[in-house]
Chains A and B, each alone.
Chain A
């Protein structure tokens, strides 16, 4: 079956702009989580959505937001971009939420902020 698809794969923005990233989970998976990966901080949890509801949120400022649609596809948005937002943003899907199952990751969206 098709894996997790993230778009776009690469993008370049300038400070102050906003960006929207998209994630299509594996068919049948209802949980989508987002992570930020940087060389210095590793993988940091952003938020998790399940059945269109945000179930959990990491320690990121309000500039980072997300949503999930009825077909389980998810988007995350970062407003007023800062240089420090440059990172690989990974989306992971799983069958259920909160039971410690396997996370299936996409290839990520690499964001560069100039």
Chain B
């Protein structure tokens, strides 16, 4: 069974602080996506990384795909209350058939 472990599970920080969320697996993924989900809504895609070692930046968010395509990280600089939400990584597996495996989630709360 392919699993994606995210750490930390919960994070409560003050506005302006930096943070990093990790997404780890023993399996190789064709690509990896990060989603953010806010209460009462479905997850919304933030980014897709495809190549091992790839780094993508989205304003204050920096995403990195591990060289071996087994892990990823999300770094937020100067967090704001609007960053509050559940962050989910999702790896695309192509062993057998295509499907997304979602991580366990990181619940972030940024306090003003």
Q: Which residues of A contact B (CB under 8 A)?
A: 4, 33, 35, 42-45, 48, 55-56, 58, 90, 92, 97-100, 102-108
With both beta carbons as reference points, the residue of chain B lying nearest to A92 in the complex is identified as: B42
Chain A interface helix/strand/loop/mixed: strand
Report A-chain residues with C-beta under 8 Å of the C-beta of B99.
45, 48, 56, 58
Report A-chain residues with C-beta under 8 Å of the C-beta of B35.
103, 105
Are the CB atoms of B97 and A42 closer together than 8 Å? Answer: no
**A-B CB contacts (within 8 Å), total count:** 58
Are the CB atoms of A100 and B48 closer together than 8 Å? Answer: yes
With both beta carbons as reference points, the residue of chain A lying nearest to B30 in the complex is identified as: A100
Are the CB atoms of B42 and A107 closer together than 8 Å? Answer: yes
Residue with the greatest number of chain B CB neighbours at <10 A, chosen from A42, A58, A90: A42
Q: Which of these, B44, B98, B104, contacts A97 with CB under 8 Å?
A: B98
Residue with the greatest number of chain A CB neighbours at <10 A, chosen from B90, B100, B102: B100
Q: Given the interface contacts A55-B97, A56-B97, A98-B97, does A103 sit within 8 Å of B102 by beta carbon?
A: no
